[in-house]
């Protein structure tokens, strides 16, 4: 029900998550050399430029002392036009420090109705994967790069991502997670590299700004493309094997040294 977007339309569906190949997308993709682009060295390279009319209120998230305080502010946020159409903002929820942070694109209809992340079809798949691979919900914080539902589940606009970005940045600072998993193209591009293609970067750890990032396929990708199931399973299997809370060990594990 939630996934009404046309596959390949660039949203929270598989066309987005598999890099748009073979999904009958209507508009031809710009020829892209994304697979050959090395990720930049800095965290949050601010890939989005503002356009006239996109001067949304600037969110100052640095003032929040904890994730609960931040969540309360998100619920009342009016910084961008998505606040006009949402029912409930979805700040994110879950475990505390040193855990895993999973980051999706934006809330859908069920999430908007409940104010909680990953409540629909994608959430069911996500829960199944976490359980199967031994990741406890208590050690996982789940959120999205954009906290309010875009109308009709359209992909969030770059200016909306930019407006909302201070919240995810502050959440990562406050949570100090052992690993951050952007799920799918949208989150990976927002957090790591605007040119990243999830097909190329999923299941590989990279370090940025003192955090370990481990991009995963988006759980909803498999709703449209069964071929991604194997990759998705492998991603969550690797995630389940991480020694959480021991960042040094984890780095060695990721880099294949130990």
Residues forming contacts to ligand SF4 in the complex (CB under 6 A) are 59, 74, 77-80, 82-83, 89, 146-148, 160, 163-164
Shortest separation between residue 134's beta carbon and ligand SF4, angstroms: 33
Shortest separation between residue 220's beta carbon and ligand SF4, angstroms: 20
Task: Tell me which residue has its CB nearest to ligand URA.
Answer: 104
Where would I find the H helices in the chain?
14-17, 67-75, 82-85, 109-114, 121-132, 158-175, 184-191, 198-201, 221-224, 229-241, 247-255
Shortest separation between residue 79's beta carbon and ligand SF4, angstroms: 4
Q: Distance between CA 101 and CA 92 in Å, rounded? A: 10
Beta bridge partner(s), residue 206: 213
Q: Which of 158, 133, 139, 138 is nearest to 237 (CA)?
A: 133
Partner that binds at residue 239, options ligand SF4, ligand URA, none, CB closer than 5 to 8 Å by kind: none
Longest dimension (CA), the chain: 51
Per CB under 6 A, 118 contacts ligand URA: yes
Binding residue for ligand URA, selected from 7, 9, 56, 111, defined by CB under 6 A: 111
Written as six digits, the tokens of 10 are 């660039």
In the complex with ligand URA, which residue's Cβ is closer, 119 or 174?
119
Binding residue for ligand URA, selected from 5, 12, 165, 202, defined by CB under 6 A: 12
């Amino acid at each position: 029900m939630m996934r009404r977007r046309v596959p390949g339309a660039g949203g929270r569906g598989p066309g987005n998550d598999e890099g748009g190949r073979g999904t009958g997308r209507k508009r031809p993709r710009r020829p892209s050399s994304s697979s050959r682009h090395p990720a930049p060295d800095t965290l949050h390279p601010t890939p989005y430029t503002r356009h006239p009319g996109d001067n949304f209120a600037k969110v100052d998230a640095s003032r929040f002392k904890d994730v609960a305080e931040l969540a309360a502010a998100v619920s009342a946020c009016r910084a961008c036009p998505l606040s006009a159409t949402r029912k409930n903002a979805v700040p994110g929820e879950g475990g505390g420090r040193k855990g895993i942070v999973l980051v999706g694109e934006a809330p859908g209809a069920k999430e908007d109705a409940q104010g909680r992340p990953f409540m629909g079809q994608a959430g069911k798949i996500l829960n199944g994967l976490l359980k199967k691979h031994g990741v406890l919900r208590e050690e996982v914080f789940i959120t999205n790069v954009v906290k309010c539902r875009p109308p009709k589940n359209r992909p969030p606009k770059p200016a909306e991502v930019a407006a909302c970005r201070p919240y995810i940045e502050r959440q990562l600072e406050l949570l100090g997670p052992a690993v951050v998993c952007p799920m799918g193209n949208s989150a990976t591009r927002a957090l790591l590299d605007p040119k990243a293609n999830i097909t190329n970067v999923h299941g590989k750890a990279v370090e940025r700004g003192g955090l370990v990032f481990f991009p995963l396929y988006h759980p909803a990708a498999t709703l449209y493309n069964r071929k991604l199931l194997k990759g998705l399973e492998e991603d969550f299997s690797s995630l389940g094997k991480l020694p959480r809370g021991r960042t040094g060990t984890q780095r060695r594990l990721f880099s294949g040294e130990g």
